[in-house]
């Protein structure tokens, strides 16, 4: 475990490096990110094997996750060289306006050293060199990562490769560091050198750290991804047209990674009177399940199943709810209830259960469906399966209010990494507007600064009249590219 004295040295080094990291050109920081990506790709086989020894997620999946992680690093390298992430705006002076308007120029600046808390379920993409780290380094913030206890050896090796790549690429000492230990993590959020936090994990853990971040003498932003049930709605026509296929696809989605994806479909609304539950039960029999990542997750899965199954309005459609051996395979469990029951006990029935399980909720009318959906807690995703010609306008409006990403005729597990992606949602899915996936992740670790009537020689390159960086800017209200 990193001692508190060691932590103080690490955060002080990050603070000392912050001006140089912030002032490095976009091309320079882009080179740092590419260097990290190249180093991870060069050691992908080694890293995947090491990750599998600690997580049991399987080498093929982990090898793919390395590729996703390096692709993410390269995306942010492109984001910062493209330049719109700076949100540069120029409004020229207008002395004839009433009142007269000064010359104002605004752009975003990095906020300083960032604390990143690794996730258990994605040991690469949401871990040491994952989206939080990539986006913070991209915009010019040093990073101190708190390693997850579920994969300590992998964290240390990934950090070693990352630090070496940054050093060889010319990044200042203190640009990146890794720390370990729960007490150290708490102290990291409180450390006065830290100016923002990225977190992926449980609601309880995230809320505790969030409270620490905002109760500091100098409160700092906390960007947490916490819990999500990711509702799915199947219309009557969709079930009539393709019940078997939908059942098989649902089972594949909620059992993927032993049900440990943040986007797992945890609650599925199905038309009453259909045979969909039977089709799901038949498909679930073929799935063998998998070992859960940590004893704490396994214990939580067992407790969650017990709480759901004990409700008098819940039935077990398939699987064994008595999964209490934390060292054994977690097998799929399908539960069922009704929309009226969910409405009366939403706090219990809509509690996230992390693991290979899902809750089928039957609805007898559109009114029942919409009433129940409005009680679903904020989620990362919401999904609709319908048929052409169906009017789903109101349904989509309700789901849009409950989730950050609305999918159609697909499944939420699997998150593309590109400019358009958004991986957030209302509480408790996330604590703010943006998370670590997609280009807008860069926005979290910047703050706006406006220059009023500044001498030309003082202006940063992004705000100079001649636009030497050739980046997109809004000038006098119009978006320009020259």
Catalogue the active-site residues.
225, 262
Nearest to 177 by CA among 48, 308, 9, 32: 9
Three-state secondary-structure class, residue 380:
strand
Estimate the share of the chain in helix, then strand, then coil, as percent rounded to the nearest 5. 45, 20, 35
Q: Do the beta carbons of residue 333 and residue 356 sit within 8 Å?
A: yes
Q: Which strands make up the sheet holding 379-385, listed edge to edge?
A: 315-318, 333-338, 357-363, 267-271, 231-234, 379-385, 403-408
Helices 26-42 and 44-55 pack at an angle, to 10 degrees, of 70
For residue 64, count other CB atoms closer than 10 A to its CB. 15
First to last CA, the chain: 51
State the CB neighbour count (10 A cutoff) for residue 282. Answer: 15
Query: What is the rounded CA–CA span in Å between residue 339 and residue 85?
Result: 43
Burial class (CB in 10 A: 0-12, 13-18, 19+), 222: buried
Considering only CA atoms, which of 367, 58, 351, 24 is closest in space to residue 203?
Answer: 351
By C-alpha distance, which of 243, 252, 214 is closest to 412?
A: 252
344 CB burial (10 A radius; 0-12, 13-18, 19+): exposed
């Amino acid at each position: 475990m990193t001692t508190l004295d060691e932590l103080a040295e690490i955060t002080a080094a990050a603070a000392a490096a912050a001006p140089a990291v912030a002032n490095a050109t976009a091309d320079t920081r882009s080179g740092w990110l590419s260097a990290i990506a190249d180093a991870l790709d060069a050691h992908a086989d080694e890293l995947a094997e090491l990750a599998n020894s600690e997580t049991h997620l399987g080498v093929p999946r982990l090898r793919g996750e390395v590729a996703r992680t390096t692709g993410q690093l390269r995306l942010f390298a492109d984001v910062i060289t493209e330049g719109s992430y700076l949100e540069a705006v120029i409004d020229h002076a207008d002395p004839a306006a009433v009142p007269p308007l000064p010359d104002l120029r605004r752009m975003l600046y990095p906020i300083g050293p960032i604390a990143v808390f690794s996730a258990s379920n994605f040991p690469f993409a949401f871990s040491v060199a994952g989206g939080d780290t990539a986006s913070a380094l991209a915009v010019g913030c040093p990073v101190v990562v708190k390693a997850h206890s579920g994969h300590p050896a992998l964290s240390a090796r990934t950090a070693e490769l990352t630090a070496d790549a940054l050093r060889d690429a010319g990044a200042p000492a203190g640009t990146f560091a890794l720390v370990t230990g729960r007490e150290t993590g708490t102290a990291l959020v409180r450390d006065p050198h830290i100016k923002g936090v990225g977190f992926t994990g449980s609601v309880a853990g995230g809320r505790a750290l969030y409270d620490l971040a905002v109760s500091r003498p100098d409160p700092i932003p906390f960007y947490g991804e916490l819990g999500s049930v990711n509702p799915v709605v199947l219309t009557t026509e969709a079930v009539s047209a393709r019940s078997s296929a939908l059942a098989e696809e649902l089972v594949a989605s909620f059992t993927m990674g032993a049900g440990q994806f943040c986007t797992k479909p945890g609650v599925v609304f199905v038309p009453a009177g259909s045979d969909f539950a039977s089709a799901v039960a038949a498909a679930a029999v073929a799935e063998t399940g998998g070992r859960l990542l940590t004893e704490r997750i396994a214990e939580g899965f067992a407790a969650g199943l017990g709480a759901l199954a004990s409700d008098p309005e819940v039935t077990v459609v398939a699987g064994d709810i008595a999964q209490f051996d934390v060292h054994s395979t977690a097998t799929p469990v399908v539960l069922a209830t009704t929309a009226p029951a969910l409405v009366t006990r939403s706090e219990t029935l809509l509690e996230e259960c992390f693991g290979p399980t899902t809750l089928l909720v039957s609805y007898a009318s559109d009114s029942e469906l919409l009433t129940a959906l409005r009680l679903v807690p904020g989620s990362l995703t919401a999904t609709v399966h319908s048929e052409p010609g169906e009017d789903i306008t109101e349904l989509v409006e309700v789901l849009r209010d409950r989730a950050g990403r609305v999918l159609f005729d697909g499944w939420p597990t699997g998150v593309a990494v590109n400019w358009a992606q958004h991986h957030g949602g209302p509480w408790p899915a996330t604590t703010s507007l943006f998370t670590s996936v997609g280009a807008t992740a860069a926005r979290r670790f910047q703050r706006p600064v406006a220059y009023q009537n500044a001498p030309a020689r003082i202006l940063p390159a992004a705000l100079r009249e001649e636009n030497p960086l050739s980046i997109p800017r809004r000038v006098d209200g119009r978006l320009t590219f020259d």
